Structure 1
Amino acid sequence: MLRLFLLALALCLSLPAGAQAQSLQPILQTHADEVLKPGRRSVDVVLVDLVASGLPQVVPFLEAWRDREIVQRDEDGQFFRRKGGELIDLDTAVVAGPAAGTKLTEARPNGGVRRAISEALVQFQLSDPDIGKRRAAVDAIARSMDASQLGPLTAAIETETDPELKRVKSRLAGMLGALFASTPDGRVAAINALSGDLSVDVRAVLNTILSTQDDVAKELPEGANIARILKPGTDLTPQQAYARLSAAGLAPALVTQSDIRAALIAHIDGGMVGGMPVAALDNDAGRAAAYDALAADGVVPPRVSAEAEAEAIESHVFFQRYAEADPAVTDAARSVLNGIETRVSFSQAADLGLDALSLASIYFLAAIGLAITFGVMGVINMAHGEFIMMGAYTGFVVQQFVPDYTVSIIIALPLAFALTFGAGVAMERLVIRHLYHRPLETLLATFGISIALQQLAKNIFGTQARPLTSPGWLDGALVINDVIAISYIRIAIFVLALMFLALILLVLNRTRLGLEVRAVTQNPGMAASMGINPDRINMLTFGLGSGIAGIAGVAIGLYAKVTSEMGADYIVQSFMTVVVGGVGNVWGTLAGASMIGFLQKGIEWLNPSNTLAAQTYMILFIILFIQFRPKGIVALKGRAAAD
């Protein structure tokens, strides 16, 4: 500790007298023996003089010394750095001659000395002009968390020019101050300054201060910083309590059955042991009596009776004491840690909510097209997931021709809508229109189309997952604090879901097509009598729902894998979203997506190790929910609600 203190002091003061020296050789000659054969104590003086000199060549010398490259030329006692078969001058860094043919004595610092040299180098690097070296020095201090680094680190904060690195230095100095400040008041102030930091390493520092050790005594020791008093029977079992007494030497050890057996076997003499024949030792009572006889003769330690065990436990106090002796420090650490853990709990809940909201937006994008087709037409389209897959592959193909990922996504979104809109219209005209009011046949037909589209995608793109790369501005995540973070891609998907919600509401409520769709949804017969062509509306509606699925595929492809089976990952959730929210209702789809997204994330949080079980529980919950609200969260109004 003396060496480390002197190093820190020398670095902070940078003595002017030493700074006037121009060469390392006088310092090295003064400590020649310590340089060649340094020890953990003798290296202190050398390091302090080197640091105090303020010479720029000190850092290269320390690096070479640490790496065992320093040698002394025997003829004149001068020190050099040996590298690549050449002798390098320590002051000018130029080649002074070949190493071969010259009598040299090597400096051989041991492991402890090399660690001391490394610590001195870290202190130099804290103020190095190279920001990379300053960052490396801060990282080294963060790994070691040594008291000797507090002074140099604090001194280096004021001269730091990089704002982010200055913040890191200040934060690290606060943690070191909480652990190693010279006064209790200084430590308490440093601990209180950490109250707004939710990071894991700050919590680790506070937990280090609050570390405890188990203890037992006749009575609580005066002046001890007691963390907790343990009550036998509640906090400790009687066996655990007595074991602690025995380990502390406050009570004799219990004699176990195996101890009795071993003792009896060791003292058999002529078929007798403890005055009893061996044949009589076939039960616990007989063995105990023989052992007690041996104990009465002083051959073995006596057994501890249950009464003596209970009395020993009753006459002692069991407690945990803090390793930190100052109660003011531990009280401050406990108060700050409790506040941080409370904020962490709220932050974890908020982070879980953001994840659930992100998942809900993905489900909404995947299900909104299905909600339109299923709600208006009553068609169970099992190929809806494949329209999502087609949209994702459209984005992949566009990126093969447009290398700018931002431009490619802008092109892919309308192109995916047009492609899947056309595919949806073709599917409705060729297949669906012939199967209206025949739900089983429609389900089987669309399921067959789903398989065919998957196989077609495999034939074209193969079975390997294809990358749909997001633009660079979507890389990374929005970090609110050390607990709450959400990726920019998920934010973009959430914004896209909001845009689609607004667009669909605008189309349904402010356009003629929307008016006709709502009319056909609520009462197809009356809509037809008013001059609306339900057949045309069904075609456009199916195409619109399919086109929206294509756009959803581009968005989902930025987040998930793009394969021929990707649609199957979302078809079940899409149907659940539509049914739970309310068939044929945009707001119902939004409510259903929110409910399923939050429910799934909540179940996964309760059972994080088994996502399959979480999905099973979610489906069971939805089945129960539908039993009580069969028309969904937001039910249709009008005659369609009775169908």
Structure 2
Amino acid sequence: MKSMLFAVLAALFTIPAAFAQTDPAQTDLTSADPVQAVLQTHRALIEESSRRTIGPAIDGIANSGLPQMQAVLEAWQAKDMWQRSSDGWFFAATKSGADSYELTNFADGSVVGTYPKGEVAQIKPNSGIRAMIATALVQFQLSDPDTMRRSDALDSISRNPEAALLAPLRASIPTESDPDLLARKIRIERLMTMAYDPEADARVTAIQAMAGDLGVDFRATLNPILATRIQVLGAGESPDGNIARDVTPGGDELTRAQAYALLVGAGKAQVEVTEDARDAALEAHITDGLVAGTRVAQLDSESARDAAYKTLADQGLVPALVTANDVDTTLQSYRFVAIYAEPSRQVTDAAAAALAKSEIRVHVGQAVDLGLDALSLASIYFLAAIGLAITFGVMGVINMAHGEFIMMGAYTGYVVQQIIPNHTASIIVAVPLAFAVTFAAGVALERLVIRWLYHRPLETLLATFGVSVALQQLAKNIFGTQARPLTSPAWLDGAWVINDVVAISYIRIAIFILALLFLALFLFIMKRTRLGLETRAVTQNPRMAAGMGINPDRVNMLTFGLGSGIAGIAGVAIGLFAKVTSEMGGDYIVQSFMTVVVGGVGNIWGTLAGAAMIGGFQKGVEWLNPSNTLAAQTYMIIFIIIFIQFRPRGIIALKGRAAGD
């Protein structure tokens, strides 16, 4: 009877198996449509569409080795994958009517037919699943014929590197034809090798190949390798990892309180009773005005409270009081070590050496970057002060309206840009126009005010200060109080990035070049032209110059106009990166005077040296105290006051008869 029952059961189980072995649809599915075979293998997980369980299905599709799987994953990610209800097969679908969809086979791209909405179901992955699909797509996109897709794949790896992507990334490197993408692939492959390769030798090789690299991504990859945790070791205990160093409690890395808290957390020390906890315990044990036999009124000092608490502790009513000496004694009984998160000593040693080399280069780069910033600021100060070097340094006129000439030049550039929308053309027009406007304003100021006040410095200062206030108010009445934009040409946008540490904006480079051009122009005018010769003659001895047929009034007028015109051009340049307001001249008048005075009155090379000193000093102070830029101005003024005590004639003082004027 039993044998007959077993035979019946065996027959029942054998019949489906036989049908399965000879099912022509299944055979056709496996041989003729391998894409569908893979999808049907993971059908249940795809239908469930749960982020917790979908991982094996995505991995199985991505690692199937079939090139069509890229289209499958892309359609799935875009919610364009549909399932036919009759047999559960998956297709790409496009809407062909109000309630029908055209299904396309993933294997060969052929259209299998049009089906009503009720016979197909859309596969709708949530955002989490789409993110997982995007990661799986990377291995296909790395070798995609489209350059942009390969670039996007590298961006995706950089944002979210995973160990599983290392192998397909390596496989794509030999076939990469674009040199820029090849360099990116090699760099990312090295970074991922450092982080994910199971072989220590391969990781060390990659680290040593990039040692000293300034990239933020390189240092960010090394930091997790060199991350540490503090471990407490008692007598006879051995560390359970790769020791980085011994740590002494009480330093910046591990404070005394943190070290004791580690001991308490490990159950190796008693919880430290705080003053608040002590006082609360004393209050809880007040009986008839007494605490441990001591009247409450007598607990008016820390020592008395500690003694009362100790009495309660001796009676077993409260935990024992842990004193500072107890904490120190306990800490001395244990060893504190920093343990690397990375277990391989070989890897951590290589990473530490590489990071140290990078840090040295970073410091050098920061110094170079600071020097470039100082040079840029010095060129701005020189550009603002070169006009003053003529009116004050050469002519001896204290022109407090010099900053307003800078402001007038900036507003001239703004007006030109309203008329000429092309920024390049507008700047080309604005530079000579700003010179003409401020030259005319300077000539007018000299003819109407300055010519009557030569050799009367106090009256000149007061008069030009009044003119500066008037010009500021006039600018407010015309342009308002809001800052006006002066946009630089597109070819001056961005910065020259030397590496991840050193960079300088193109507009600052342009201002530096402009400052050099004006230095050369000024030297040419003063040394090689008739105006320069006459200016020097009038400056040194007006009477003798007049006796030689030179008109001192005309020379003074043209010289003052020249200095004012150069200030106008400086205003256009400064306005390209600074705010253009009626008060902008005040931001540069003080620095301009300091530049001329520190450099040496009457000497253009001194003005250049003064600008370099002031710009470098200001940037140095800002680097030491970056959170307070106002401190740089204060310290700079103090420095200049001290400096002129030792060199009252400036860095490069005039010699000969001119020095005594």
The residue aligned with 2:600 is 582
1:36, 1:109 within 8 Å by CA — same for their partners in 2? no
Q: Secondary structure at the match of 1:478?
A: strand
2:93, 2:104 within 8 Å by CA — same for their partners in 1? no
Q: Secondary structure at the match of 1:52?
A: coil
1:86, 1:96 within 8 Å by CA — same for their partners in 2? no
CA change 1:115–1:378 in 2 (3 A) is: closer
The residue aligned with 1:137 is 153
CA change 1:205–1:591 in 2 (3 A) is: same
The equivalent position to 2:438 in structure 1, one of 398, 410, 420, is 420
Q: Distance in 1 between matches of 2:362 and 2:255?
A: 33
Q: Secondary structure at the match of 1:446?
A: helix
The residue aligned with 2:526 is 508
In the alignment, structure 2 segments of 5+ residues that lack a partner are 1-28
State the percentage of identical aligned residues.
Answer: 60
Residues 251-330 of structure 1 mapped to structure 2, 5 A cutoff? 251-260=269-278, 282=299, 283-285=304-306, 287-295=308-316, 301-303=319-321, 309-330=327-348
Q: Distance in 1 between matches of 2:111 and 2:479?
A: 61
Q: Does 1:35 align with 2:46?
A: yes
Residues 367-446 of structure 1 mapped to structure 2, 5 A cutoff? 367-446=385-464
The residue aligned with 2:60 is 48
RMSD: 3.2
The equivalent position to 1:614 in structure 2, one of 629, 632, 648, is 632
The residue aligned with 1:228 is 245
CA change 1:245–1:377 in 2 (3 A) is: same
Q: Secondary structure at the match of 1:231?
A: coil
1:387, 1:550 within 8 Å by CA — same for their partners in 2? yes
Q: Distance in 2 between matches of 1:277 and 1:631?
A: 78
Post-superposition offset of 1:612? 1.8
CA change 1:95–1:184 in 2 (3 A) is: same
CA change 1:102–1:373 in 2 (3 A) is: same
CA change 1:540–1:66 in 2 (3 A) is: closer
CA change 1:272–1:20 in 2 (3 A) is: farther
Equivalent position amino acid for 1:226 in 2? I
1:522, 1:641 within 8 Å by CA — same for their partners in 2? no
Deviates more, 1:70-79 or 1:363-372: 70-79
CA change 1:304–1:586 in 2 (3 A) is: closer
The residue aligned with 1:174 is 190
The equivalent position to 1:198 in structure 2, one of 214, 224, 231, is 214
Equivalent position amino acid for 2:648 in 1? P
The equivalent position to 1:532 in structure 2, one of 546, 550, 557, is 550
Which deviations, in whole Å up to 9, do the C-alpha atoms of 1:409-445 show, x marking residues without a partner?
Answer: 2332222222222221222112211111222221222
The residue aligned with 1:62 is 73
Q: Distance in 2 between matches of 1:220 and 1:329?
A: 25
Post-superposition offset of 1:49? 4.3
2:212, 2:359 within 8 Å by CA — same for their partners in 1? no
Post-superposition offset of 1:23? 6.4
Which deviations, in whole Å up to 9, do the C-alpha atoms of 1:527-551 show, x marking residues without a partner?
Answer: 3444433222211211111111122
2:103, 2:111 within 8 Å by CA — same for their partners in 1? yes
Deviates more, 1:232-241 or 1:458-467: 232-241
CA change 1:28–1:315 in 2 (3 A) is: same
CA change 1:96–1:451 in 2 (3 A) is: farther
CA change 1:368–1:355 in 2 (3 A) is: same
Which deviations, in whole Å up to 9, do the C-alpha atoms of 1:334-388 show, x marking residues without a partner?
Answer: 1111111111111111111111111111111111111111123221111112222
The equivalent position to 2:262 in structure 1, one of 244, 264, 267, is 244
Q: Distance in 2 between matches of 1:443 and 1:272?
A: 80
Equivalent position amino acid for 2:197 in 1? A
Equivalent position amino acid for 1:284 in 2? R
CA change 1:168–1:112 in 2 (3 A) is: same
Aligned length: 620
Deviates more, 1:364-373 or 1:464-473: 464-473
Equivalent position amino acid for 2:196 in 1? F
Post-superposition offset of 1:73? 3.4
The equivalent position to 1:573 in structure 2, one of 573, 591, 599, is 591
Q: Distance in 2 between matches of 1:565 and 1:42?
A: 64
Deviates more, 1:256-265 or 1:439-448: 256-265
Deviates more, 1:455-464 or 1:570-579: 455-464
TM-score, normalising length: structure 1:
0.87
Which deviations, in whole Å up to 9, do the C-alpha atoms of 1:79-111 show, x marking residues without a partner?
Answer: 34577765452524869546543374x657677
The residue aligned with 1:456 is 474
Equivalent position amino acid for 2:425 in 1? V
2:453, 2:460 within 8 Å by CA — same for their partners in 1? yes
Equivalent position amino acid for 1:134 in 2? R
The residue aligned with 1:89 is 103
Q: Distance in 1 between matches of 2:436 and 2:496?
A: 33
Equivalent position amino acid for 1:241 in 2? A
Q: Distance in 2 between matches of 1:357 and 1:120?
A: 49
Equivalent position amino acid for 1:28 in 2? L
Q: Distance in 2 between matches of 1:71 and 1:395?
A: 61
Post-superposition offset of 1:306? 6.6
Q: Secondary structure at the match of 1:560?
A: coil
Q: Distance in 2 between matches of 1:353 and 1:31?
A: 61
The residue aligned with 1:184 is 200
1:522, 1:637 within 8 Å by CA — same for their partners in 2? no
TM-score, normalising length: structure 2:
0.85
Q: Secondary structure at the match of 1:378?
A: coil
Equivalent position amino acid for 2:531 in 1? L
Equivalent position amino acid for 2:607 in 1? T
The residue aligned with 1:631 is 649
The residue aligned with 1:154 is 170
In the alignment, structure 1 segments of 5+ residues that lack a partner are 1-17
1:260, 1:291 within 8 Å by CA — same for their partners in 2? no
Q: Distance in 1 between matches of 2:601 and 2:294?
A: 88
Q: Distance in 2 between matches of 1:237 and 1:279?
A: 36
Q: Secondary structure at the match of 1:370?
A: helix
Deviates more, 1:196-205 or 1:300-309: 300-309
2:408, 2:434 within 8 Å by CA — same for their partners in 1? yes
Post-superposition offset of 1:454? 2.5
2:294, 2:308 within 8 Å by CA — same for their partners in 1? no
Equivalent position amino acid for 1:34 in 2? L
Which deviations, in whole Å up to 9, do the C-alpha atoms of 1:294-338 show, x marking residues without a partner?
Answer: 43xxx6655557776554333321111111111111111111111
Residues 480-499 of structure 1 mapped to structure 2, 5 A cutoff? 480-499=498-517
Q: Does 1:523 align with 2:541?
A: yes
Q: Does 1:79 align with 2:96?
A: no
Equivalent position amino acid for 1:151 in 2? A
Q: Secondary structure at the match of 2:223?
A: helix
Post-superposition offset of 1:493? 0.9
CA change 1:460–1:278 in 2 (3 A) is: closer
Post-superposition offset of 1:589? 0.8
CA change 1:380–1:83 in 2 (3 A) is: same
Q: Distance in 2 between matches of 1:478 and 1:319?
A: 45
Equivalent position amino acid for 2:247 in 1? L
The residue aligned with 2:143 is 127
